[in-house]
Structure 1
């Protein structure tokens, strides 16, 4: 189950959040929590909405007014969206760096030196056999 799936009716969401259904309606009107609507315009709350309702209750108990809570939630949602965008851009950048033509690849040469090779090519390894015999002392 996805945390954003709208599955809870208002009575269930209110019970999970420890609130009265009328409070959830008020929060919806104020834009604190915006549940999804069904075709018949019934509210459907996700688990994320329930968590947000609990956060509203906690902040309210700490003495914040609803406008202050709305602003905090707005900023928290913006942070979540920005973090997702940063992850998206980091992935795009990593993909670009890996697939960019002309990038330089390095390998170790036969003598241990650094050799630049073209991306997508393999270094040819020598097929020589080296036999080692220890010296006999005696």
Structure 2
């Protein structure tokens, strides 16, 4: 099973707040606080109830580890989560671009053109002001 398939499977299973709290070893009120602070933002049901994915539960455990074992405050944890999400997004984009580049080099992408090297020089001259 690929990492993407595993991720989709983990995102499809959701838990009520009471179950997620138990799985993470926390009180449900702590999960509500973390949601309010933007640390872990679960999906919402049509009725507005929180639905935690397995990824959310893993993130809750990481928040607890950083807080209790590493002594990081909640603002620091929020920043760590934001930076981690940015790194993951950038890594994903680099992977996409690497695949596109490989396809261009292999001649499989006709919509992208290989750059041409040029020795042309363009001289720029500012416009004369109109008076």
Contact in 2 for aligned 1:6/1:44 (Cα 8 Å)? no
Match among 86, 104, 108 for residue 96 of structure 1: 104
Contact in 2 for aligned 1:6/1:36 (Cα 8 Å)? no
Gaps of 5+ in 2: 1-7, 115-131
Instruction: Decide whether aligned partners of structure 1 residues 15 and 28 sit closer, same or farther in structure 2, where only a CA change above 3 A counts.
Output: same
Secondary structure of the 1:39 match is coil
Match among 23, 37, 48 for residue 16 of structure 1: 23
Match among 27, 36, 41 for residue 34 of structure 1: 41
**Is 2:8 aligned against 1:4?**
no
Contact in 2 for aligned 1:17/1:51 (Cα 8 Å)? yes
Match among 54, 59, 66 for residue 52 of structure 1: 59
Cα RMSD for the two superposed structures: 1.9
Question: How many residues matched?
Answer: 103
Q: Distance in 1 between matches of 2:48 and 2:64?
A: 25
Gaps of 5+ in 1: 104-138
Choose between structure 1 and 2: higher helix proportion: 2
Secondary structure of the 2:10 match is coil
Aligned to 1:131: none
In the TM superposition, structure 1's runs of 4+ consecutive aligned residues that sit over 3 Å from their partners are none
Choose between structure 1 and 2: higher strand proportion: 1
Contact in 2 for aligned 1:6/1:35 (Cα 8 Å)? no
Cα deviation for residue 6 of structure 1 reads 5.1
- Larger of the two Rg values belongs to structure: 1
Give the TM-score taking structure 1 as reference length: 0.69
